[in-house]
Chain A
Amino acid sequence: MAQLLDNIHHYYGSRLILEAIHLSADPGEIVGLMGPSGCGKTTLLNIMAGLLSPTAGAVHTTATAYVFQEPRLFPWYTVVENIALGLKAQTMNRQQRLQRAHHLATTVGLSEAVSLYPPQLSGGMKQRVNLARAFAINPQLLLLDEPFSSLDMGTRQQLQQLVMTWIQQHQATAILVTHDLAEATIMGDRLLVLSQCPARIVCRWRNQRPSNQRDPAYIYHTLSELQTLPEIAASFNLNPVSPSHRSLKF
């Protein structure tokens, strides 16, 4: 198992926001990362992406691609040009880059839209470009920051499947930040839960089934099981609903 983060501590000013974070992952594995809002999940991804240096601790990530929450496409580039962006750092000429980008556009279902500009795309299409741009550089580590949160259910399912297949095929590792316990259960081979600030890893959970055997019944069952875990309840402020809460008194 490859170590990605070793004892990361991070401060904003004098405020400790990440405390003793260790993270390792296998090739072909998707690790779900959950926690309350503002607990530092995106900060952790930014540290792994090299956008931020941690106050203390070691980062061992190479060939990293980042799928941002908002698509962050370059408005003056067409779909293929956006997908090819990351390839500019590699030794490829323009034609090779665009050829590879075309291929990826097809993979993510955008073969009809290659020459459109971002303002012409729907939210789901933009997020597909965002994904394809990340896939293009053949990353070993794929960072996903709630990439599907603003999509409709059908598109979300398709893109989740796309990521799972891609990670399997390329034996890369994905770190998926999500607010959605169901998404974490569907996609995640493991799940890490962070506490309220300062964030520590308070719960490590391993999915019992491989990704192709997680049927709706299993997901439903696992979800209800996860919600009863005290660490998860505490982390998300889930209150057990007692009968007295059900009737409101005026």
Chain B
Amino acid sequence: MLPNQQVDFRALWLRSTLPGLGTLALVLGLWQWGSQTYSRVILPAPGEVAVALRSLLLQRRLWDAIAATTVHVLVGFTLALVIGGLLGLATGRQGWVRPALNPIAVALLGTPPIAWLVLTMVWFGLGNANSIFTVAVTVGPMIFAGVADAVTTVDPSLLDVAQVYQLSERSRFQSLYWPHLVSRLLPVLVVGLGLAWRVSIMSEVLATPTGIGAELNTARANLDTAEVMAWIVITIGLVLASDTLLRQLQQRILPWQRLANNLG
């Protein structure tokens, strides 16, 4: 942005936010109208969902469920990051690693998470291991592919610069490989973490006795549709919060990338 360019931030904010708010109001209106047409079990009114949400916010089980899901997500995601990341890094070191692992990565990426759930129920019974494993096995190949792409796309013209200026192995890693890796990987992590939340909750619905998914399942069994919807709202909030957090982190770590995007 040019320094002498006057920007009316309020107008900009209104223009970017108003249409979204309008859509939201429209959906809420349709929802309200629909709730008057159908029974409470099928479509409870927005107000009922708000009441259910408020009542949940005052209960301990909400925080227990959030804690359980967060543990599933973080443990599964960390496993995916460590295993996928290390194997991805290995592709940069040894030429044969990528062709050797690619068929597995492709197969894993193509397997729907629900298929893993069926298997994990057989393997682990019902428990936390289901969610953790399903998250790790779904997100891991994504991270592997991201890291493998990053290590093989280091700009060779910058490698020449590093060689001309006789950078040591360590300096080369610090000033070239690492920043490149981080810049390529952070967007993958943002997407991967969003996926991890959704996969974990799905597996909790079917095969894990704790977490938001398990609570969703209980509310469904009680035919308490308002509470089901309240849990969905909570889930959306959580995913948005983790996404925003990572994106903030990305902007802080990679200020140059935002500049590059802004300038086209």
Contact = CB atoms under 8 A, between A and B. Distances in A.
Q: Do A and B truly interact?
A: yes
A242 B222 CA distance: 99
B256 interface: yes
B179 A120 contact: no
A119 B254 contact: no
Interface stretch (A30-38, A62-70, A208-216, A229-237): A62-70
B160 A76 contact: no
Contacts of B260: 75, 117, 119
Given A66-B164, A85-B165, A76 B157 contact: no
A86 B163 CA distance: 10
Given A76-B183, A88-B175, A49 B256 contact: no
A91 to B, nearest CB: 12
B2 to A, nearest CB: 11
B155 to A, nearest CB: 8
B18 interface: no
Interface in B15-35: none
Contacts of B179: 74, 76
Contact of A68 (B157, B167, B180, B257): B157
Given A76-B254, A77-B175, A120 B164 contact: no
A172 to B, nearest CB: 15
B164 A75 contact: no
B256 A88 contact: no
Interface hub of B165, B254, B263 (most chain A Cβ within 10 A):
B165
Interface of B: 157-158, 160-161, 163-168, 171, 175-176, 179-180, 183, 254-257, 259-260, 263
9 contacts: A51-B164, A66-B164, A72-B157, A74-B179, A85-B167, A88-B165, A88-B168, A89-B166, A119-B259
A-B residue pairs, 3 tightest by C-beta? A86-B165, A117-B256, A76-B179
